Structure 1
Amino acid sequence: MESYAVLRMPKTVNYGRDAFERVGEEAAERGKKALIVTDKVMKELGYVSEGRDYLTKAGVESFVYAGVASEPTDIYVAEALKKFHQTGCEVIISIGGGSCIDTAKSVAVLAKNGGNIGDYMGGKKLAHTAPIPHIAIPTTAGTGSEATDVTIITNTSNDVKMMIKQPAFLPEVAIVDPLLTLSSPKHVTAATGIDALSHAVEAYISRKAHPMTDMIALSAMKLIVTNIETAYESGENLEAREAMSLGAMQAGIAFSNASVCLVHGMSRPIGALFHVPHGYSNAMLLPAILEYSKGYAVDRLADLGRIFLDDEGDLTAEDAAELAVDSVKKLCLKLEIPNLSGWGINKQEFESVISKMAVDALASGSPANNPRVPEQDEIEKLYKVCYNYDFTSTSTVS
């Protein structure tokens, strides 16, 4: 660990059943007009109208941008920002998954600091002015974006998924209501759940981990590992949904402060070029990359293995780390996570851009946080392994 560490999280966290009802009061403390950034699914489920009712009761006028679809792009950010300025709003509220929250984060910063979202990539432009107050309301237990200072936006001019990390992107308020996750279908529960597990594991094995993030990441891993299958098989189980929501938020806090590693570095280019949702692309890569990293993070992965075992037992650290990797593979099988080939990505198209993806992955900076730091040729090899990865196999990655 470095000589000192920093822990950032939202100023206010409203967590638990019916926390959604707090949105009106939280918004009223910050302005009289709010822009809701969301998508069509959230409108169809009634979450947007419910939120607007709470806002109206609190004396807050609301407007809606529902143009977010799948992975967020600079186009969605520009459209939402335009609507924000046109309506004279003072507060931004995101309702939905990570795509909606990341879009809203970007609008909150740009509205006060100007420029295009791409200007902030790599710290070229810093947000010196406090952003518009942002209230983030997740409806999946996955990204943890409601508690991070990171936004992931695809630059449509060059197909690069930009990871932008600055304190200004951290939402001011998080409202985490597990009742909103009950509507998540099985495949979304699976993908977002493994995404959350990826966040927690990578925060724990990251070279930038510190005691505070370790504590939070361990709690997140335990909550997710012990509840994800129940949430997947019995989506109406509110206790499991509640645990997953808490675990996902904790994982978000952990990785926002300790950084993610190789999984995320390799995942973003897949999402940008092949439009694979972020949760799925992380899940497809996680087992193989844990195999690749295992020898450099034995003790840390052993802690994960013992969570799966739910018993200290007499396992050596090496055996517990091996158990962790095998257990993640089995979990992906149970949750019906496909490999890249199974997703339907054309092999020839995939192989033709492997070099670009490896370069983009390294440029993101995340691979440098991995316990085993790869060279470009190693990342290219890992992409090839992951394309037809067999979740039932014994260790195949070296």
Structure 2
Amino acid sequence: MTALYLPSLVRIGGGALNELPTALKQAGLSAPFIITDGFMAKSGLLDRVQALLAEADIQSGAFPDAVPDPTVTSVDAALAALKRGVYDCVIGLGGGSPIDTAKMVAVLAKHGGMPSQLKVPHVQDEAGLPIIAIPTTAGTGSEATRVTVITDEKTDEKMLCTGYAYLPHIAIVDYELTLTMPRRLTADTGIDALTHALEAYVSKRASPFTDALALAAMKRIWYALPIACAEPSNRDAREQVMQGAFEAGMAFSNASVALVHGMSRPIGAHFHVAHGLSNAMLLPEITAWSVTGAQARYATCARVMGIVPSGTEDGAACAALVAALRERNRQLDVPSPAAYGLEEGRWNSLLPLMAEQALASGSPDNNPRVPNHTEIIDLYRKVWA
């Protein structure tokens, strides 16, 4: 038996943002609180959304100070701002960080408590305020997931929080909002989405439903991401990557992610590397280590992505997949941790703690080949340079 969790109302395609007031009314919601970041506020998008709502006689409040890799302090500030008014839902507008902030605020607004009380193994299924996700990047898939990640500044831990309560009720997936994304952000978030699809497909919790979404997503993203990076205004490429990210989000929300994500979160927490970039740094080598655990599945990925012809033998297909992932990182200028400028002594000293935090997240248990603490340390060392 497979349990599936998907957004209730979805508007997808160019211009979907204009459907926000209609979607809110369809859901019986009338007093949204918007959480976004300074860039979205300065770009005029927050004003555009609030004007769109006002034209439909929907008044909204806003918190424009969400931070990258959302922290407990940022969540507390957004929650305090929400409590100064009366609101019946929370809109996350922006990349994964504002949406993740909105998810946690929506739960705390109704149930109280602290994010540290909600991290795995706790599962928060009892809903908070309804969540509306409007992504402006194509990568995190947060608009389709029942997951949020909040950083505890005191311990430098990225706390994985999961449960039905974090699943957006409404998702507005408008690729036109990604047309101004810079190349680095396009690449990093796109590889993040590719990682979601790949890990969902090889996860021990995969199902026929998630398989279909994951394969569709990786095919789209593998083809369209280089084009979107090279030609930012290419609408077809932007649409393909955005839809792929949404499909990948639905896939991993139901099948879970695996070792790449488990190892990625500590890098982000301790070194403040953007989540998509830390996934990209890890993906080729973690895939190379994992393939023996699910050779047939990784080979299918290589065939679906067009890396090898359909009749290629599994072993050769897996080798080609790893080589192609390494080459794609070179093509998109993904740096190693060393090349990115991280401090080697601090990296090495933190490896035992990072490995412990990776295992504690639970994600490595879903991997086709499950590592122990020492093997994770060895993998971090291999990825370094």
> So what's the TM-score if we normalise by structure 2?
0.97
Alignment-derived partner of residue 344 in structure 2: 347
Alignment-derived partner of residue 91 in structure 2: 93
- 1:105 aligned onto 2:106: no
1:303 maps to a residue whose letter is T
Q: 1:8 to 1:57 in 2, by over 3 A?
A: same
Query: Which residue of the other structure, out of 57, 60, 63, is the alignment partner of 2:61?
Result: 63
Determine the C-alpha separation between the residues in 2 that align with 1:141 and 1:284. Answer: 18
Contact map agreement 1:109 1:127 (CA 8 A) in 2: no
Q: Displacement, 1:238?
A: 0.4
- Partner of 2:296, secondary structure, is helix
Determine the C-alpha separation between the residues in 2 that align with 1:309 and 1:319. Answer: 14
Determine the C-alpha separation between the residues in 1 that align with 2:367 and 2:64. Answer: 36
**Deviation string, structure 1 residues 321-343 (Cα, Å, up to 9, x no partner):** 11111111111111110010111
- 1:276 aligned onto 2:273: yes
Contact map agreement 2:307 2:324 (CA 8 A) in 1: no
Alignment-derived partner of residue 134 in structure 1: 131
Alignment-derived partner of residue 185 in structure 1: 182
117-126 or 368-377, which moves further after superposition? 117-126
Which residues in structure 2 correspond to 1:194-213 (within 5 Å)?
A: 194-213=191-210
- Partner of 1:101, secondary structure, is helix
1:17 maps to a residue whose letter is G
Structure 2 unpaired stretches of 5+: none
Q: Displacement, 1:133?
A: 1.4
Alignment-derived partner of residue 392 in structure 1: none
Determine the C-alpha separation between the residues in 2 that align with 1:259 and 1:309. Answer: 24
Paired-residue identity, % = 43
Contact map agreement 1:144 1:249 (CA 8 A) in 2: yes
Alignment-derived partner of residue 309 in structure 2: 312
Determine the C-alpha separation between the residues in 1 that align with 2:225 and 2:136. Answer: 16
Alignment-derived partner of residue 329 in structure 1: 326
Q: Displacement, 1:124?
A: 3.9
Q: 1:310 to 1:266 in 2, by over 3 A?
A: closer
Contact map agreement 1:305 1:322 (CA 8 A) in 2: no
Query: Post-superposition, which runs of at least 4 consecutive aligned residues in structure 1 deviate over 4 A?
Result: none
Determine the C-alpha separation between the residues in 2 that align with 1:265 and 1:126. Answer: 20
Alignment-derived partner of residue 248 in structure 1: 245
- 1:378 aligned onto 2:382: no
Contact map agreement 1:308 1:324 (CA 8 A) in 2: no
Q: Displacement, 1:179?
A: 0.2
**Deviation string, structure 1 residues 27-62 (Cα, Å, up to 9, x no partner):** 344333221100011112221111111110111111
Q: Cα RMSD (Å) of the superposition?
A: 1.2
Determine the C-alpha separation between the residues in 1 that align with 2:116 and 2:198. Answer: 29
Structure 1 unpaired stretches of 5+: 389-398
- Partner of 2:333, secondary structure, is coil
Determine the C-alpha separation between the residues in 2 that align with 1:126 and 1:98. Answer: 19
- 1:299 aligned onto 2:300: no
> So what's the TM-score if we normalise by structure 1?
0.94
**Deviation string, structure 1 residues 127-174 (Cα, Å, up to 9, x no partner):** 53x321111000010000000000011111211101111011101000
Alignment-derived partner of residue 48 in structure 1: 46
Q: Displacement, 1:126?
A: 3.8
Alignment-derived partner of residue 114 in structure 1: 112
Q: 1:310 to 1:162 in 2, by over 3 A?
A: same
Determine the C-alpha separation between the residues in 2 that align with 1:250 and 1:66. Answer: 28
2:147 maps to a residue whose letter is V
